[in-house]
Amino acid sequence: MANTSEVSISKNIFYPPGGLLIWIIVFLELITFGAFLIVYLSFRQSDLETFNTSQTMLNSTIAMLNTIVLLTSGLFMAAGLTELRKGGEKAITYLLITIAFGVLFMVLKVFEYNEKIELGIGFSTNQFWVFYWLLTGFHLIHVLVAVVLLSYVLVKTTSGFYNSSKFEDVEAVGVFWHMCDLIWIFLFPILYLLH
């Protein structure tokens, strides 16, 4: 019995929720986005007028709505995982709602992109728009990947593959999903609100 307890304690210390690999990925992603944001702030400081003028053309309403959508989806992801660990029946519903919010985020982002394209705003417009397209586009790809992964674990959970005794992959996807939330929490004020 002592061995089981030692293994359990060891696993809790060295294997955070979702496993060590997903946390290494999250750490690398945060460093990447962080570096991008530092470079953005540096370029912004050197051409404040262009950046401020360009920011006025952003749709802050859609961005705020997307912030609410992502944060709400994070709550449902956490609730879904809690339910799954307990063996609760609502886990599938919560995962489905999380996916729906992820899709809603992408739809709103595509609508926002379409607004910019119709105005003729692209990479070549100015330095601000290069950063806008790169940062939000890179984040959108992460959300898309997360929705695909969530869809996969939803199907596997529905079939009973993931359950109260086997849920580490769902935890890993949850960690990735929360990383998307966290990155957006930095992108939103820096790109849309900072003047």
What pLDDT was estimated at residue 57?
95
What pLDDT was estimated at residue 6?
43
Q: Which residue has the higher pLDDT, 7 or 51?
A: 51
Residue-by-residue DSSP string for 62-104: HHHHHHHHHHHHHHHHHHHHHHHHHT-TTHHHHHHHHHHHHHH
For the stretch 35-74, pLDDT in tens is 999 999 999 999 999 999 999 999 999 999 999 999 999 9
Which tokens hold the place of 34? 């962080």
- What mean pLDDT is predicted for residues 77-89? 93
| All structural domains of the chain | 2-193 (1.20.120.80)
